Amino acid sequence: MFKTEVARNINHSLKSVERYLQHFSRCVFLARKQFTPLQVAMTIGISSKCANDYLELYRDSKELELRLPEIDSIGAQHYVIEDAKKGILTSSASSTVEEN
């Protein structure tokens, strides 16, 4: 099912559905890295209940095993981008300090 169909079926915006998928992928990625549900929730910035719901959905959906590489890729991509941003901010900040 396409994201637009899901959005229409649940009467949510496409942006919301994309956010749900991102959160789900990040939850699975972190859980597979041995994060506890509380750590997952705090890392992503969602409620513990929401993290537990995503993780329960993951555990209950055996057909997701076939899509784990895709889920891991989406989950990991977020942290690669965030680390890159931090690197850019760090190098910009250090060059500003050196100039002063």
CA distance 87 to 91: 6
Q: What is the pTM of this model?
A: 0.66
Q: Are 64 and 79 spatial neighbours (Cβ–Cβ below 8 Å)?
A: no
Range from 55-59, 68-72, 92-96 carrying the lowest mean pLDDT: 92-96
Residue 3 confidence (pLDDT): 77
pLDDT score at 43: 93
The pLDDT tens digits for 8-45 are 888 888 898 889 989 998 999 999 899 999 999 999 99
